[in-house]
C-alpha cells in the first residue's frame, strides 16, 4: 500500500485529519471495521504506528472519531432534504427519509454509530446536535401551528427518531427480506409515524386501542360512502 506524503513536523492538526481521513477510507472501501487497524491506518497515512497513538488512545477512539466526522455530513443531507416553506409535517417526513437514506449510504459507519454504549461519545454528540435538533425544531413548529398539541417535544422527537432508526437498521441487517424498494418501505413507515401521531391526537389521547380502531373504521366508511354513491 502506497503511503501518503508525511506531514511536516509541528502539523499535528493536519496529521490528525489525515489519520481520520484514512480511517474513513478504509471503512468505506472495505465495509468492515475489521479492516481498520492502527498499523493499516499508519501505512495509509505514511507514518509510524506510535504517531497514531499521539492523537488517539486506541483503535476504538480512532473509529469513533472517523464515524463522527461522517455523521457531520448528515447535517448537510437533512438540511438539503427540506424546504423551509413546506408544512412542518411534510418536513418531518422528509427529515426522516434523509436520515434513512444516509444510513443506507453509509452502512458500516451507521452500524458503528448505533451500537449500544453506556456513555455519550463523539458520534452521539454529533447526532444530538444535528439530527435531533432538526427533528425537535420542526416538531416545535408543528406545535406552534396547532398541528400537534403543545407539550415537551422530546418524546415525539424520540419516537420519530426511533421509527427512522428502526427501519434503517432492519433494512441494513436483513437485506434478504422481500422489502421491495428500500426507500418506499421507509416512506411508508415514516408516514405511519408522522401522520399516525397527528391522527392519534385528533382521536384523543385517552382513546383505547379498540376505540382507535373503531374511529378509523368509521372514518374509512365515511370516506368511501361518497365514492359508492357516485358509482
* Residue 80 belongs to a domain: yes
C-alpha cell at 121: 461519545
* Residue 231 belongs to a domain: no
CATH of the domain at 20: 1.10.10.60
Asked whether residue 194 falls in the same domain as residue 167, the answer is: yes
* Residue 151 belongs to a domain: yes
CA distance 68 to 61: 11
Instruction: Give the pLDDT of residue 93.
Output: 92
CATH of the domain at 119: 1.10.357.10
Among the three residues 56, 78, 96, which one is the final residue of a domain in this structure?
56
- Which residue matches cell numbers 458500516? 108
C-alpha cell at 153: 417535544
- Nearest to residue 103, comparing CAs of 169, 14, 37? 169
Q: 18 CB contacts (<8 Å, ≥6 apart)? A: 4, 7, 45
* Residue 63 belongs to a domain: no
Asked whether residue 91 falls in the same domain as residue 175, the answer is: yes
Asked whether residue 78 falls in the same domain as residue 167, the answer is: yes
CA distance 79 to 137: 12
* Residue 144 belongs to a domain: yes
Our count of domains for the chain comes to 2
Q: How many helices (H) and strands (E) does the chain have?
A: 11, 0
| Domain encompassing residue 47 | 1-56
- Which residue matches cell numbers 409535517? 89
In tens digits, the chain (231 residues) has pLDDT values of 444 455 444 456 789 899 988 988 888 787 777 888 899 999 999 999 888 988 988 888 888 888 777 777 787 888 899 998 999 989 999 999 999 999 999 887 787 777 555 555 655 665 666 778 888 889 999 899 888 888 888 888 889 989 999 999 999 999 999 999 999 999 999 999 988 888 888 777 788 888 888 888 888 888 887 665 555
Asked whether residue 146 falls in the same domain as residue 181, the answer is: yes
CA distance 173 to 104: 11
Asked whether residue 32 falls in the same domain as residue 88, the answer is: no
Instruction: Give the pLDDT of residue 121.
Output: 62
Q: How many CA atoms lie within 13 A of 91 on its CB side?
A: 21
Amino acid at each position: 500500500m502506497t503511503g501518503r506524503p508525511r506531514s511536516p513536523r509541528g502539523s499535528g492538526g493536519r496529521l490528525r485529519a489525515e489519520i481520520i481521513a484514512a480511517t474513513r477510507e478504509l471503512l468505506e472501501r472495505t465495509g468492515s471495521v475489521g479492516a481498520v487497524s492502527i498499523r493499516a491506518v499508519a501505512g495509509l497515512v505514511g507514518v509510524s504506528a506510535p504517531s497514531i497513538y499521539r492523537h488517539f488512545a486506541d483503535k476504538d477512539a480512532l473509529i469513533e472519531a472517523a464515524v463522527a466526522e461522517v455523521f457531520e455530513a448528515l447535517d448537510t443531507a437533512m438540511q438539503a432534504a427540506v424546504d423551509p416553506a413546506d408544512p412542518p409535517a411534510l418536513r418531518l417526513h422528509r427529515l426522516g427519509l434523509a436520515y434513512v437514506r444516509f444510513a443506507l449510504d453509509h452502512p458500516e459507519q451507521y452500524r458503528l454509530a448505533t451500537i449500544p454504549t453506556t456513555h455519550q461519545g463523539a458520534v452521539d454528540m454529533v447526532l444530538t446536535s444535528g439530527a435531533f435538533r432538526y427533528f425537535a425544531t420542526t416538531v416545535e413548529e408543528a406545535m406552534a401551528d396547532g398541528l400537534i398539541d403543545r407539550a415537551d417535544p422530546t418524546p415525539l422527537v424520540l419516537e420519530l427518531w426511533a421509527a427512522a432508526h428502526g427501519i434503517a437498521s432492519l433494512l441494513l441487517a436483513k437485506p434478504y427480506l422481500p422489502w421491495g424498494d428500500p426507500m418506499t418501505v421507509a416512506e411508508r413507515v415514516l408516514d405511519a409515524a408522522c401522520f399516525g401521531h397527528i391522527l392519534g391526537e385528533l382521536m384523543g389521547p385517552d382513546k383505547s386501542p379498540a376505540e382507535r380502531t373503531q374511529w378509523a373504521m368509521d372514518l374509512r366508511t365515511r370516506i368511501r360512502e361518497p365514492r359508492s354513491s357516485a358509482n
